[in-house]
C-alpha cells in the first residue's frame, strides 16, 4: 500500500497559512505528514499538532530526532538513548498527542552506539508513545545494521531519477525484509519539477540537462509525474514525500501521484536514458 505523503519542512512559520495548507492537503487525500524536532526549532511540529489535533486518528504523523541544536545554531549529532527519549517527550507535547505513529532516527553513522539507539526506540514502543520506528538514512552500511539488529518498519532515503543509488544496494534488502521505503528528494531539489539544470551528485549540469531533455522527449507525461511515478513503481516504496509550501506545490504533487502508473516500457526507457549511480562517500 502506498500512502500519499506531505513533507512539512518547507511549510514556513506563518501559522495560519501553514495550517490552512495542511488542512487542504488532508481534505484532498493526503494522510501522512512528516516533520522533525529541528524543523524551525520545534515550531513545525507545533503547527502540525494544531492542524490535526481534532483529526488525530485519521492521520499518520512521523517525526524525527538525532540532531541536537546548539547555542550557535549549528547541529550536533546525538543518537544517544537519553537524547532520543528526551526529544520524544518534547515532540509529543508539541504535536499535542499521546503517541507518534512513526518515530525516526534523523540520520545515522556506522560509529553510532546503535544498540543504545535501538533500545531507546524499543522502550518508547513498549510505553505506547510510538507505534513504529525507522531511520532516515542514505548510508547502506547503517541501513544494513538496522535491518540486522532492530525492528525498524521504514527507511526514509533520498531516491529519484537523478539519484538511483538505492536500487542496487538498498532496495532489494528492504524488499526482502518487508521494510517500507519513504522516498525523499524525489524531485531532486526541483530539477525534476522545472527548475533550471545544475550539477547534482556525480552528474554535471550538462548531464542533468541531457537526461531531463531526453526523458521529456521519450515519455509523454509531465516531468514531475514521470519522476514520482517511477518511485511509486518500486514495490518497497511505502510513501513518496515531497516538500510542499504552496497550493501550487500541493496541486502538482497530487496530480503527479494520482496519475496512472508507468508502463514497463516507460520504466525501461528511463533506465536506459539515466545511468545508475552508486554510493561512494556516503557509506
The conformational region for residue 199 under phi > 0 = left, psi -120 to 50 = alpha, else beta, is beta
Q: Spot the catalytic one: 39, 103, 132, 159.
A: 39
Between CA 190 and CA 180 the distance in angstroms is 24
CB 250 within 8 A of CB 27: no
Q: For residue 252, count CB atoms less than 10 angstroms from its CB and return exposed for 0-12, middle for 13-18, buried for 19 or more.
A: buried
Q: Is 230 a catalytic residue?
A: no
Between CA 140 and CA 59 the distance in angstroms is 30
Each residue of 36-64: b (16+ CB within 10 Å) or e? bbbbbebebbbbbbbbbeeeeeebbbbbb
Known catalytic residues are 39
Amino acid at each position: 500500500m502506498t500512502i500519499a505523503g506531505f513533507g512539512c519542512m518547507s511549510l514556513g512559520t506563518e501559522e495560519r497559512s501553514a495550517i490552512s495548507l495542511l488542512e487542504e492537503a488532508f481534505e484532498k487525500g493526503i494522510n501522512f505528514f512528516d516533520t522533525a524536532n529541528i524543523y524551525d526549532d520545534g515550531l513545525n511540529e507545533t503547527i502540525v499538532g494544531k492542524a490535526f489535533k481534532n483529526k488525530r486518528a485519521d492521520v499518520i504523523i512521523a517525526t524525527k530526532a538525532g540532531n541536537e541544536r546548539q547555542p550557535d545554531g549549528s547541529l550536533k549529532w546525538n543518537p544517544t538513548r537519553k537524547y532520543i527519549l528526551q526529544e520524544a517527550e518534547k515532540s509529543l507535547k508539541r504535536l499535542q498527542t499521546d503517541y507518534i505513529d512513526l518515530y525516526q532516527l534523523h540520520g545515522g553513522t556506522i560509529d553510532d552506539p546503535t544498540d543504545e539507539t535501538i533500545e531507546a526506540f524499543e522502550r518508547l514502543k513498549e510505553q505506547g508513545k510510538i507505534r513504529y520506528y525507522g531511520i532516515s538514512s542514505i548510508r547502506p552500511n547503517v541501513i544494513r545494521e538496522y535491518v540486522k539488529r532492530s525492528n525498524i518498519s521504514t527507511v526514509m532515503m533520498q531516491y529519484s531519477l537523478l539519484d538511483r543509488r538505492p536500487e542496487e544496494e538498498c532496495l532489494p534488502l528492504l524488499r526482502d525484509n518487508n521494510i517500507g521505503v519513504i522516498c525523499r528528494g524525489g524531485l531532486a531539489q526541483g530539477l525534476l519539477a522545472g527548475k533550471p539544470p545544475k550539477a547534482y551528485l556525480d552528474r554535471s549540469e550538462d548531464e542533468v540537462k541531457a537526461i531531463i531533455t531526453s526523458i521529456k522527449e521519450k515519455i509523454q507525461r509531465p516531468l514531475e509525474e514521470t519522476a514520482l511515478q517511477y518511485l511509486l513503481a518500486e514495490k518497497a516504496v511505502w510513501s513518496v514525500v515531497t516538500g510542499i509550501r504552496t497550493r501550487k506545490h500541493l496541486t502538482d504533487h497530487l496530480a503527479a501521484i494520482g496519475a496512472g502508473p508507468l508502463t514497463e516500457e516507460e520504466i525501461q526507457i528511463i533506465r536506459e536514458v539515466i545511468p545508475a549511480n552508486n554510493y561512494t562517500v556516503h557509506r
